[in-house]
Amino acid sequence: MSQQSRSCPLCGSDRVSILASVRAEVIVHSSQYYDEGAYERLGVDKDSQFGISKCNECDFVFSAQVPSAEFLDKLYDGGSSLEESVAIFARPARAAYAFKCLSLVLSELAKRVAVDARGVSERRIRILDVGCAFGVGSLGLARKYYPYEVTGIEISSATRSYLADQGMQAYASLEDVPEGLCFDGIILNDVLEHVADPLGLLQAIKRLSAEQAVLWINVPNFIDWRLEQIVSQISSGDMCVPKDMNPWEHLSYFSPRTLNLMMKRAGFYRAKPSVREYPVICDSVFGMPRKVLRYARDLWVNYARSFDSGHVTSGIFVRISGDPRDYAVRPNHIDSE
């Protein structure tokens, strides 16, 4: 791997450092989804190195390079049949999570969408599932006479055909969504960490959002202390690291704080504060005690098992109307820019 890095996808700064370099062999060893044939199939050497960068301006962590389109095609071509792929995406653990996300979006929409005396919405509610794959969860709303319009964004044409058969309109990208269509509820389940320009994607979503639109998002959680642990595992030559530290698939490594920062930049604020957030900035003489307190809180959160399984950070965000700067002091503010 060259020790060069792209600039920061969050703030655009070139002041970035390489935190760690992960060997291809470690990536393959660390995930059950790769086998020994992966090197040949992907055209990589066991000793090829893939860098993880950190921005010195905003602390955002990201893959040093973006894999080529050819590499990604090979990476995501699992060779499974449609039936097998649907079964994998709809496995109980994943389906439970997808329905939970959908439930949270609907609960938040229930508070925001205009309804009549019976609680029925006055118009059809538009849901956008970005990176929807086989529509596990959202497809449940695409039924005759249900008061929803469900739209998916899915890059695979075979998967889009499957969705069309099931009654769900899907497009290959956000740019293909017909002009004028605005969504009330948006789902980004395990999507943002995979894209090279997450801020650009979120800004495009904002343009497709209705006033008061509600957005559910979840990404792997690389909270400071967890990231430090993984980086030290990599440096000590550990052959097996958490499988979400994978710079082939994951191009961004969010902490709760950097997720909030990016969402705010894109024009969304968090609907509910979370104990996993970080309002603490270590930029003064009080920095160290604050850091210690923050660390203690993280330990407590971890031992109290407050983290979702699989180290995920997630939340409901709401579209900011007007000038985002007006929201700098919302009660759930997280960061300072």
CB nearer to Zn ion: pick between 24 and 219: 219
CA distances from 170 to 133, 160, 252 (A): 10, 6, 25
Choose the binding region for Zn ion from 30-38, 49-57, 75-83, 322-330 (rule: CB under 5 A). 49-57
CB nearer to Zn ion: pick between 159 and 252: 252
Q: How far apart are CA 121 and CA 210, in angstroms?
A: 15
In sequence order, the β-bridge partners of residue 313 are: 219
Asked if 233 and 241 count as a contact pair (C-beta separation under 8 A), the reply is: yes
- The site for Zn ion, by CB under 5 A, has a size of 8
- The verdict on 56 binding Zn ion (CB under 5 A) reads no
Binding Zn ion (rule: CB under 5 A), the pick from 22, 58, 139, 223 is 58
| E strand residue ranges, the chain | 16-23, 49-55, 61-63, 125-130, 148-153, 169-171, 183-189, 209-220, 252-253, 268-270, 312-319
* Nearest distance, CB of residue 191 and Zn ion, angstroms: 21
CB nearer to Zn ion: pick between 7 and 49: 7
* Of residues 2-41, those binding Zn ion (CB under 5 A): 8, 10-11, 13
Helix (H, G, I), strand (E, B) or coil at 215: strand
Three-state SS string over 123-154 comes to CCEEEEEECCCCCCCHHHHCCCCCCEEEEEEC
CB nearer to Zn ion: pick between 35 and 57: 57
CB nearer to Zn ion: pick between 4 and 166: 4
Strand order in the sheet with 61-63: 16-23, 49-55, 61-63, 252-253
In sequence order, the β-bridge partners of residue 269 are: 318
* Of residues 227-266, those binding Zn ion (CB under 5 A): none
CB nearer to Zn ion: pick between 55 and 136: 55
* Of residues 73-102, those binding Zn ion (CB under 5 A): none
Binding Zn ion (rule: CB under 5 A), the pick from 24, 28, 55, 334 is 55
* CA end-to-end span of the chain: 32
Q: Which of 223, 219, 229 is nearest to 297 (CA)?
A: 223
* Nearest distance, CB of residue 54 and Zn ion, angstroms: 9
Choose the binding region for Zn ion from 59-67, 162-170, 199-207, 228-236 (rule: CB under 5 A). 59-67
- The verdict on 57 binding Zn ion (CB under 5 A) reads yes
**Torsional sign, CA 252, 76, 164, 137:** negative
* Nearest distance, CB of residue 55 and Zn ion, angstroms: 3
* Nearest distance, CB of residue 60 and Zn ion, angstroms: 5
Asked if 142 and 199 count as a contact pair (C-beta separation under 8 A), the reply is: no
* Nearest distance, CB of residue 27 and Zn ion, angstroms: 24
Binding flags for Zn ion, 282-311, as an x/- string (CB under 5 A): ------------------------------
Choose the binding region for Zn ion from 58-66, 86-94, 276-284, 326-334 (rule: CB under 5 A). 58-66
* Nearest distance, CB of residue 34 and Zn ion, angstroms: 30
Query: Distance between alpha carbon 280 and the CA centroid of its chain, in Å?
Result: 23
* Nearest distance, CB of residue 46 and Zn ion, angstroms: 32
**Which positions touch Zn ion (CB under 5 A)?**
8, 10-11, 13, 55, 57-58, 60
